[in-house]
Chains A and B, each alone.
Chain A
Amino acid sequence: MLVKSGGMVLALLTLTIAPAISAEPEFVIQIKNHQFIPAELRIPTGVKVQIVLDNQDDTPEEFESYSLDREKHVPPKSRVTLFIGPLNAGRYVYQGEDRVDGPAALGVIEAR
Chain B
Amino acid sequence: MKCKLVHRRPANPLVRCGRRTADGNLRAPSALNVGCATRRACVALVLALGTENALAVSADEYLFTPTVTQGEREIDWLFGTGSSGINTNAQLNTGLGFGLGVTQHWFTELDIKYRRQSPVGTSLDAFEWENTLQIGEPGQWPVDIGMVFNVEKPYASSSSPKTEGWSIRFGPLLQKDIGKVQVNFNLLIGRFFQGSEFSATQLRYQSQIKYRYSQPLEVGIQAFGRLSSGGQTWTPYSEQVHRVGPVVLGRLVLPGERSLLYNIAFLIGTTAHSPDRTLRFQAEYEF
Given A69-B212, A97-B257: A5 and B201 within 8 A (CB)? Answer: yes
CB of B148, distance to nearest CB on chain A (Å): 11
Q: Assess whether B101 is interfacial by the CB under 8 Å rule.
A: yes
Residue contact B201 to A2, C-beta cutoff 8 Å: yes
Q: Contacts of B101 on A, CB cut-off 8 Å?
A: 73
In the complex, which residues 210-252 of chain B have their Cβ closer than 8 Å to any Cβ of chain A? 212, 214-215, 233
Q: Contacts of B135 on A, CB cut-off 8 Å?
A: 13, 17
Instruction: Bin chain B's interface residue count.
Output: 35 or more
Stretch at the interface among B23-31, B46-54, B139-147: B139-147
Residue contact A84 to B139, C-beta cutoff 8 Å: yes
Q: Assess whether A91 is interfacial by the CB under 8 Å rule.
A: no
CB of B127, distance to nearest CB on chain A (Å): 22
Residue contact A16 to B142, C-beta cutoff 8 Å: yes
In the complex, which residues 56-91 of chain A have their Cβ closer than 8 Å to any Cβ of chain B? 60, 62, 66, 69-73, 75, 80-85, 88
Query: How many inter-chain contacts with C-beta < 8 Å in the A-B complex?
Result: 70
In angstroms, Cα B233 to Cα A98, docked, is 48
Q: Assess whether B71 is interfacial by the CB under 8 Å rule.
A: yes
Name A13's contact: one of B142, B145, B200, B212 (CB within 8 Å): B145
In angstroms, Cα B99 to Cα A76, docked, is 23
CB of B273, distance to nearest CB on chain A (Å): 22
Given A81-B137, A98-B257: A71 and B69 within 8 A (CB)? Answer: yes
Residue of B nearest to A62 (CB): B257
Residue contact B171 to A9, C-beta cutoff 8 Å: yes
Interface size on A, residues (CB 8 A): 29
A interface secondary structure, majority: mixed
Residue contact A66 to B70, C-beta cutoff 8 Å: no
Residue contact B256 to A98, C-beta cutoff 8 Å: yes
Q: Mark B147-184, 1 if CB is under 8 A from A, else 0.
A: 10000000000000000000000111000010100100
In angstroms, Cα B199 to Cα A2, docked, is 12
B interface secondary structure, majority: loop
In angstroms, Cα B256 to Cα A88, docked, is 32
Q: Contacts of A82 on B, CB cut-off 8 Å?
A: 137-139
In angstroms, Cα B178 to Cα A61, docked, is 28
In angstroms, Cα B177 to Cα A108, docked, is 21
CB of A32, distance to nearest CB on chain B (Å): 20
Q: Mark B184-200, 1 if CB is under 8 A from A, else 0.
A: 00010101000000001
Residue of A nearest to B136 (CB): A17
Name B172's contact: one of A2, A9, A66, A81 (CB within 8 Å): A9
Residue contact B189 to A2, C-beta cutoff 8 Å: yes
Q: Contacts of A60 on B, CB cut-off 8 Å?
A: 71
Residue among A6, A72, A88 with max Cβ neighbours from chain B (10 Å): A72
In the complex, which residues 125-141 of chain B have their Cβ closer than 8 Å to any Cβ of chain A? 135-141
Q: Assess whether B104 is interfacial by the CB under 8 Å rule.
A: yes
Residue contact B71 to A73, C-beta cutoff 8 Å: yes
Residue contact B139 to A2, C-beta cutoff 8 Å: no
Q: Contacts of B140 on A, CB cut-off 8 Å?
A: 20, 83
Residue among B141, B182, B215 with max Cβ neighbours from chain A (10 Å): B141
- 3 smallest CB-CB distances across A and B, nearest first, come from A83-B139, A20-B141, A73-B70
17 other contacts beyond A16-B141, A66-B212, A82-B138, with CB at 8 A cut-off?
A9-B170, A9-B171, A9-B172, A12-B172, A16-B142, A16-B145, A17-B141, A17-B145, A20-B141, A60-B71, A72-B69, A72-B104, A73-B69, A73-B71, A73-B101, A83-B137, A98-B255
Cross-chain pairs A/B with CB under 8 angstroms, 10 sampled: A6-B170, A16-B142, A17-B135, A17-B141, A20-B141, A20-B142, A66-B212, A73-B70, A82-B137, A88-B179
Q: Which residues of A contact B (CB under 8 A)?
A: 1-2, 5-6, 9, 12-13, 16-17, 20, 48, 60, 62, 66, 69-73, 75, 80-85, 88, 97-98
